[in-house]
Amino acid sequence: MSRLLKRSYLALVLLFLYVPIVVLIVQSFNAGVSRAKWQGFSLKWYADLINSPSIMNALYITVTIALLSALFATILGTLAAIGIHALQKRPQAMMMALNNIPMTMPDIVTGISLMLLFIFTQVPRGYVTMLLAHITFNIPYVILSVMPKLKQMNKFSYEAALDLGATPGYALRKVVLPYVMPGVITGALLSFTLSLDDFTISYFTTSPLVQNLSTLIYSEARKGIKPTMNALSALMFVALLVLLLAVNRRASLNQDN
């Protein structure tokens, strides 16, 4: 098949992926409420955004939950990966099988099962329960990012450090941790984005009073989405894009050195 044909096929697939996003961003600058008609350029939805307490509050909850859950999941997950890696073969296989359960469970079942847990134990659903749920679905991804790094590592480095007089804690901090750091960072970034984008699990584990962006959008979807939401997602999209470019630049700078 000719080169041109292949490239135009790829361009078409990408077009399919990007059309709704472009539409969404263009709409955020539309002066009117209509979704189909262009009624002039305006930044008024961006102004509305800053003045909307419910959206700002949801944004705050979304971002803090993403940061906190990524932090806790990374700490717990990295520790767990080191522990699991040091286990004997049998218990190791068992732990990895357990680790796979939350990842194979459909989101809706995870959400509902956690909802049942919180109702059953009479823990009122809200910020803390949502955070616990996010940590729960993030940890497996951290472990899966750290594990390959641990497997690559020469298993005698840790023992050599001990033989040379390092305490186990010192050896972990100065030998193991630096080596697995790239995996830890990947896991943290993955957790952050997964938490940012989650809807289903948050929906079942929070109360209507504590809403993140996804659940807020969901409750508004029935009434019809306001263009302020488009403005917000356009902003978040650009912010994430800048973040990615910065990370990429850092990575390529590190490679050069």
Which residues 224-243 are close enough to bind other proteins by CB under 8 A?
A: 225, 229-230, 233, 236-237, 240-241
Q: Is 113 in the site for other proteins (CB under 8 A)?
A: yes
Distance of closest approach, residue 145 Cβ to other proteins, in angstroms = 8
Q: Is 247 in the site for other proteins (CB under 8 A)?
A: no
Kindly tell me which residue out of 32, 197, 249, 251 binds other proteins, with binding defined by CB under 8 A.
Answer: 197
Kindly tell me which residue out of 31, 68, 71, 132 binds other proteins, with binding defined by CB under 8 A.
Answer: 132
Interatomic CA distance for residues 206 and 130, integer angstroms: 6
Q: Is 160 in the site for other proteins (CB under 8 A)?
A: no
Q: Which residues within the stretch 176-195 sit at the binding site for other proteins (CB under 8 A)?
A: 190, 193
Interatomic CA distance for residues 38 and 25, integer angstroms: 13
Q: Is 10 in the site for other proteins (CB under 8 A)?
A: yes
**175-201 burial string, b = 16+ CB within 10 Å, else e?**
bbeebbeebbebbbbbbbbbbbebebb
CA–centroid distance for 136 within its chain = 12
Q: Which is nearer to other proteins, 41 or 120 (CB)?
A: 120
Q: Which stretch binds other proteins (CB under 8 A): 43-51, 52-60, 63-71, 217-225?
A: 217-225
Q: Is 57 in the site for other proteins (CB under 8 A)?
A: no
Kindly tell me which residue out of 122, 254, 255, 257 binds other proteins, with binding defined by CB under 8 A.
Answer: 122
State whether the Cα torsion 57-63-68-69 is positive or negative. positive
CA of 175: how far to CAs of 79, 167, 170, in Å?
14, 11, 8
Q: Is 71 in the site for other proteins (CB under 8 A)?
A: no
CA–centroid distance for 143 within its chain = 14
Interatomic CA distance for residues 20 and 52, integer angstroms: 25
